[in-house]
Chain A
Amino acid sequence: MKQLHERAHELLEQKAVSVIIGYGEGTEGRVRPVFIRTLEAVRLLVWDDRCRVNLAVYLNKPEIRKFGFPIAVVSTPATVRTIVQLIAEHQLSIGDVVVLVRENDTVRALIQKEDLEQYARNNPVIFPPFVIEEIELLKKMSIEERFTYWQEELAKCFKCYACRAACPLCYCEKCITDVNQPQWVCVAPHPVGVFEWHINRAMHLAGRCIECGSCTIACPVGIPIALLTIEATRVVKEEFAFTPGIDCNAPSALSTFRVDDKETFIR
């Protein structure tokens, strides 16, 4: 923590960044995001095992962007991958972000493409074991059972779009659900509207989901909604050997092809 404070102090003092996005003490023993712009505020930064939420999402928010790049972000492995993926999708450029990571008990600042990619490759996103169990459980179900499972889970959704707000890769300025000419996705939170929304979301994140789990954490009614995008991305990985978040120049998995694609889905 001391090292982080020193680094943050240095960055702000040298005006190397406009803001540092990090974790601060919240209520009831939880952490919350803080946006540090002054030297006095640096002491608010905390960094411990509770700091898991993916702060990269704030890089897309106009309220933060208006401070101007470069911006520093206190990052977990998932955050680094997100930033790499956002660079690949042209939402950020190299140099826009100073990525603060913990490595062997020291704080490192990653800025260059090679450093970001190397860190992303060497530090996979690790799920809590229950997520892995849940995926396995779903995979063992028959299609009908799985459909019932999702019907039950999604019945709870009342379309608050917290999942969308929390997802660092949902950066569209106008989401497809907000497009009303034509109204592709039903706005009402009835079964059809809810399914349409979540299927769209899974499709739009297939091959892009970083598997940070932010959407599941954000969901106020506890739907394990990340499972859909995680699985969609794994299918893309299996079919096209494509992992998001490790290559700043990666083309989009679904709109490009490689000659060595298996093409087993074409029958």
Chain B
Amino acid sequence: MARIGVFVCHCGENIAATVDCEKVAKACAQLPGVAYSIDYKYMCSDPGQNLIREAIKEKNLTGVVVAACSPRMHEPTFRRACAEAGLNPYLCEMANIREHCSWVHPKSEETTLKAIDIVKTIIAKVRKNQPLYPIKVPVTKTALVIGGGIAGIQAALDIANAGHRVILVEKEPSIGGHMAQLSETFPTLDCSQCILTPRMVEVAQHPSITLYTYAEVESLTGFIGNFVARIRKKAKSIDEKLCTGCGECVNACPIKKIPSEFNMGLGTRPAIYIPFPQAVPNKPVIDRSRCTYFRTGKCRFCESKCPTKAIRFDQNDEVINVQVGAVVVATGFTVLESTFFPEYGYGQYKDVVTGLQFERILSASGPTLGEVRRPSDGAIPKKVVFITCAGSRDPAKGIEYCSKICCMYTAKHAMLYKHKVHDGQAYVFYMDIRATGKGYDEFVRRAIEEDHVKYIRGRVSRVYERNGKIVVCGADTLLGAEPVEIEADMVVLATAGVANPGAEELAQALHISYDRHRFFTEAHPKLRPVETNTAGIFLAGACQSPKDIPESVGQASATASKVVALFSRDELTREPIVAVVNRCAPPLYSTCVGCFMCQTACPYSAIEREELRTRDGTLVKTVARVNPGLCQGCGTCVAFCRSKSIDLQGYSNEQMYAEVVELFAE
């Protein structure tokens, strides 16, 4: 006969305010198999846990039910307490009478009765519980970092400096991400390239970091500590060992007019190119979609100019499989293009640019070599209007969120413009100014007070061209919505930061979740901000939501510490909540008939095939087998199995059935 202890928690007032906890404890004491039942103010407190520990010893309990909050928070607490008292932790279950009862109902007799019912179902379950033992799995101490922006660079360096191997995969020909495109950075106005390039070089030179640029992760299988990533290294069409990065080929290429991605279309590049002077690695790739040879079969000018004979037109993509123990996703973000905005002319006015384009105009390595000149005619604009929240915080555009960085970089842009064009005038249209970081508000004040940037609170309704000027129509809501019209030479839109194209596909390949806006989601918005819901996969930087550099770097270091903590052990212990295929007496050996429907249903590819043989080696049949390392305990297979041959430990058919039937029992 079971000897179950029931421990009803008041959770201060959280439960006791609407549920009569004493009554719940008394009612449970009457149930079959219950040997002890008590209520207490805070079960999770030390004295509360002691009550459980002592009762287990004194009353010789064979099972424990804690009627309290969601198991999500405190199940580990109480299971540990049980283990300390010598009871197998999986004989302890929680009945949630807070979220499922006291919080959602008023104080009443019925609320208490419902709480009793909830506890009853869990008691019925615990009667069927079996002791379970944690599963041990080995750890591959190599990390995969996807995305070589500042976040990926930081994570890779931190993990490598802790003594672990890192594989960094970047889809572009160079690492650096958006930070490489920036001119100077708020709030200190230090040159972006100057602080970034040393880190890029460190990555390239680090003995523990393997860098794959022009590469993408195609799939990820396995589980925490034991992933296998399939990486496609796209053909760069050069032999990297021979190439010295001299750049002769780049000069030789006759196709020169391809809009440069790095310069946001404001400059051009050839078909064989190095994206920017400080690129790491500093070796070119051939853009096969643009190369004359690949399109028409003739040209190969670059090949004839290459002093080391490093060009390889016949190179193929290479697909490699690597084993890694943890994954950091740092694939960053992108910004909306001006073509997204009908009210600002759908991108048809050359002098209406995005913030990222303006960074390139400000940058010394940019198309204008750092002089502020407008794209249409190269003239120095004397009046520049900056429009914030272009797309952001605009439910009508499908983007309710604040892109977070635009207020700051717009202040930076206006300031840098004033520093470069002393007689110029800068206007900023804003909804409100969000400058909440360290030194941020001071930075914006400096723009307004020292550099005399004119801030106008209000939205811009329309932008159009008139006699070579760009007319910006808006309203100043601080002056009673008085209409404002500015004839500008140039307009800069602080367009919303959005998820990368392809973010969805990547999330699906990695089995991580993403939100409505296709940003990857963290496991808990407050308490687990850098973890995903998939164990062993972490998030850093703007792929999770738009972020500035300090935040991206901080998050990257946080993921590194998670990875390093994971790698500090040789073995991982996993919860034994996994599916198992049954065994029974001969001649069946198992009721599994090997239809393998479960195998097709399992979202984690955890189901394999196993041959059952008699002792003399004769094959009886081929049945399903669950790899306990891969199984996440979702139970999908259990639902699919027609013969109920597969069952989930800790949530077995018998346990679930007992719970449900208990509700109907009189």
- Measured between beta carbons, the chain B residues less than 8 angstroms from A181 are 653-654
- Measured between beta carbons, the chain B residues less than 8 angstroms from A175 are 643
Choose the segment among A146-154, A189-197, A248-256 that binds chain B (4+ C-beta atoms closer than 8 Å).
A248-256
Q: Which residue of A lies closest to B621 (CB)?
A: A173
Q: Which residue of A lies closest to B594 (CB)?
A: A90
Choose the segment among B287-295, B454-462, B550-558, B596-604 that binds chain A (4+ C-beta atoms closer than 8 Å).
B596-604
| A171 close to B (CB within 8 Å) | yes
- Measured between beta carbons, the chain A residues less than 8 angstroms from B572 are none
- Measured between beta carbons, the chain B residues less than 8 angstroms from A161 are none
A182:B643 contact, CB within 8 angstroms: no
| B591 close to A (CB within 8 Å) | yes
B595:A89 contact, CB within 8 angstroms: yes
- Measured between beta carbons, the chain A residues less than 8 angstroms from B644 are 176, 179, 184
Q: Which residue of A lies closest to B658 (CB)?
A: A182
- Measured between beta carbons, the chain B residues less than 8 angstroms from A121 are none
A255:B657 contact, CB within 8 angstroms: no
Closest beta carbon of chain A to B622's beta carbon, Å: 8
A176:B642 contact, CB within 8 angstroms: yes
Contact residues of B between 637 and 651, Cβ < 8 Å to A: 640, 642-645
| B2 close to A (CB within 8 Å) | no
- Measured between beta carbons, the chain B residues less than 8 angstroms from A256 are 600-601
| B369 close to A (CB within 8 Å) | no
- Measured between beta carbons, the chain B residues less than 8 angstroms from A254 are 597, 640
| B593 close to A (CB within 8 Å) | yes
For A172, give its contact among B596, B643, B653, B661 (CB under 8 Å): B643
Closest beta carbon of chain B to A204's beta carbon, Å: 5
| B588 close to A (CB within 8 Å) | yes
B interface, size bucket:
20 to 34
Q: Which of A90, A184, A204 has the largest number of chain B CB atoms within 10 A?
A: A90
- Measured between beta carbons, the chain A residues less than 8 angstroms from B593 are 91, 171-173
A251:B600 contact, CB within 8 angstroms: yes
B643:A173 contact, CB within 8 angstroms: yes
Q: Which of A172, A175, A254 has the largest number of chain B CB atoms within 10 A?
A: A172
Main secondary structure, interface of A, reads loop
A90:B654 contact, CB within 8 angstroms: no
A91:B595 contact, CB within 8 angstroms: yes
Contact residues of B between 605 and 652, Cβ < 8 Å to A: 622, 640, 642-645
For A182, give its contact among B588, B598, B657 (CB under 8 Å): B657
Could you tell me the distance between the alpha carbons of A254 and B636 in the complex, rounded to whole angstroms?
Answer: 12
Could you tell me the distance between the alpha carbons of A184 and B660 in the complex, rounded to whole angstroms?
Answer: 12
Could you tell me the distance between the alpha carbons of A204 and B643 in the complex, rounded to whole angstroms?
Answer: 10
A172:B600 contact, CB within 8 angstroms: no
Closest beta carbon of chain B to A63's beta carbon, Å: 13
A255:B654 contact, CB within 8 angstroms: no
- Measured between beta carbons, the chain A residues less than 8 angstroms from B595 are 89-91, 252
Could you tell me the distance between the alpha carbons of A30 and B164 in the complex, rounded to whole angstroms?
Answer: 77
Given the known interface contacts A90-B596, A174-B588, A251-B600, the answer about A179 and B657 at a Cβ–Cβ threshold of 8 Å is no
Closest beta carbon of chain A to B625's beta carbon, Å: 14
Closest beta carbon of chain A to B295's beta carbon, Å: 31
Could you tell me the distance between the alpha carbons of A176 and B638 in the complex, rounded to whole angstroms?
Answer: 12
Could you tell me the distance between the alpha carbons of A99 and B631 in the complex, rounded to whole angstroms?
Answer: 40
Contact residues of A between 181 and 235, Cβ < 8 Å to B: 181-182, 184, 204
Closest beta carbon of chain B to A244's beta carbon, Å: 13
- Over the window 237-255 of chain A, the binary record of Cβ atoms lying under 8 Å from chain B Cβ atoms (1 yes, 0 no) is 0000000000000011011
B654:A252 contact, CB within 8 angstroms: no
Q: Which of A181, A255, A256 has the largest number of chain B CB atoms within 10 A?
A: A255
B597:A172 contact, CB within 8 angstroms: no
Given the known interface contacts A172-B642, A173-B643, A255-B640, the answer about A182 and B597 at a Cβ–Cβ threshold of 8 Å is no
Could you tell me the distance between the alpha carbons of A204 and B597 in the complex, rounded to whole angstroms?
Answer: 12
- Over the window 567-600 of chain B, the binary record of Cβ atoms lying under 8 Å from chain A Cβ atoms (1 yes, 0 no) is 0000000000000000000001001011111101
Could you tell me the distance between the alpha carbons of A179 and B638 in the complex, rounded to whole angstroms?
Answer: 14
Could you tell me the distance between the alpha carbons of A174 and B581 in the complex, rounded to whole angstroms?
Answer: 14
Could you tell me the distance between the alpha carbons of A252 and B597 in the complex, rounded to whole angstroms?
Answer: 6
Closest beta carbon of chain B to A201's beta carbon, Å: 10
Contact residues of A between 81 and 107, Cβ < 8 Å to B: 89-91
Q: Which residue of B lies closest to A205 (CB)?
A: B642
Given the known interface contacts A179-B644, A251-B600, A255-B597, the answer about A173 and B654 at a Cβ–Cβ threshold of 8 Å is no
Could you tell me the distance between the alpha carbons of A174 and B601 in the complex, rounded to whole angstroms?
Answer: 21
Given the known interface contacts A90-B594, A174-B591, the answer about A179 and B643 at a Cβ–Cβ threshold of 8 Å is yes
Closest beta carbon of chain A to B660's beta carbon, Å: 9
- Measured between beta carbons, the chain B residues less than 8 angstroms from A176 are 642-644
Closest beta carbon of chain A to B586's beta carbon, Å: 12
For A204, give its contact among B601, B642, B654 (CB under 8 Å): B642
Q: Which residue of A lies closest to B639 (CB)?
A: A255
For A252, give its contact among B591, B594, B600, B661 (CB under 8 Å): B600
- Measured between beta carbons, the chain A residues less than 8 angstroms from B642 are 172, 176, 204
- Measured between beta carbons, the chain B residues less than 8 angstroms from A171 are 593
- Measured between beta carbons, the chain B residues less than 8 angstroms from A90 are 594-596, 622
Could you tell me the distance between the alpha carbons of A48 and B411 in the complex, rounded to whole angstroms?
Answer: 90
Could you tell me the distance between the alpha carbons of A176 and B640 in the complex, rounded to whole angstroms?
Answer: 12
For A173, give its contact among B591, B597, B598, B658 (CB under 8 Å): B591
Closest beta carbon of chain B to A205's beta carbon, Å: 9
Could you tell me the distance between the alpha carbons of A252 and B601 in the complex, rounded to whole angstroms?
Answer: 9
Could you tell me the distance between the alpha carbons of A176 and B645 in the complex, rounded to whole angstroms?
Answer: 9
- Measured between beta carbons, the chain A residues less than 8 angstroms from B622 are 90
Q: Which residue of A lies closest to B636 (CB)?
A: A255
Could you tell me the distance between the alpha carbons of A89 and B643 in the complex, rounded to whole angstroms?
Answer: 14
Closest beta carbon of chain B to A57's beta carbon, Å: 15
Q: Which residue of B lies closest to A203 (CB)?
A: B642
Q: Which residue of B lies closest to A181 (CB)?
A: B654
Q: Which residue of A lies closest to B587 (CB)?
A: A62
Contact residues of B between 424 and 475, Cβ < 8 Å to A: none
Could you tell me the distance between the alpha carbons of A181 and B644 in the complex, rounded to whole angstroms?
Answer: 10
Closest beta carbon of chain B to A236's beta carbon, Å: 14
For A174, give its contact among B594, B643, B654, B661 (CB under 8 Å): B643
Could you tell me the distance between the alpha carbons of A237 and B600 in the complex, rounded to whole angstroms?
Answer: 19
- Measured between beta carbons, the chain A residues less than 8 angstroms from B661 are 182
- Measured between beta carbons, the chain B residues less than 8 angstroms from A91 are 593-595
B594:A255 contact, CB within 8 angstroms: no
Could you tell me the distance between the alpha carbons of A238 and B658 in the complex, rounded to whole angstroms?
Answer: 37
Could you tell me the distance between the alpha carbons of A242 and B640 in the complex, rounded to whole angstroms?
Answer: 18
- Measured between beta carbons, the chain B residues less than 8 angstroms from A182 are 653-654, 657-658, 661
Contact residues of A between 16 and 66, Cβ < 8 Å to B: none
Could you tell me the distance between the alpha carbons of A255 and B657 in the complex, rounded to whole angstroms?
Answer: 23
Closest beta carbon of chain B to A185's beta carbon, Å: 10
Q: Which residue of B lies closest to A175 (CB)?
A: B643
Q: Which residue of B lies closest to A255 (CB)?
A: B601
Closest beta carbon of chain A to B509's beta carbon, Å: 14
- Measured between beta carbons, the chain B residues less than 8 angstroms from A204 are 642
10 of the cross-chain contacts (CB-CB < 8 Å) are: A90-B596, A91-B594, A172-B591, A173-B593, A179-B643, A252-B595, A252-B597, A255-B597, A255-B600, A256-B600
Q: Which 5 A-B pairs have the closest CB atoms?
A: A182-B657, A255-B601, A174-B591, A172-B643, A255-B600
Known: A182-B657, A251-B600, A252-B597; 17 extra A-B contacts, CB below 8 A, are A89-B597, A90-B594, A90-B595, A91-B595, A172-B593, A173-B591, A174-B588, A174-B643, A174-B645, A175-B643, A176-B642, A179-B644, A181-B653, A184-B653, A184-B657, A255-B597, A255-B600
Interface residues of A (CB under 8 A from B): 89-91, 171-176, 179, 181-182, 184, 204, 251-252, 254-256
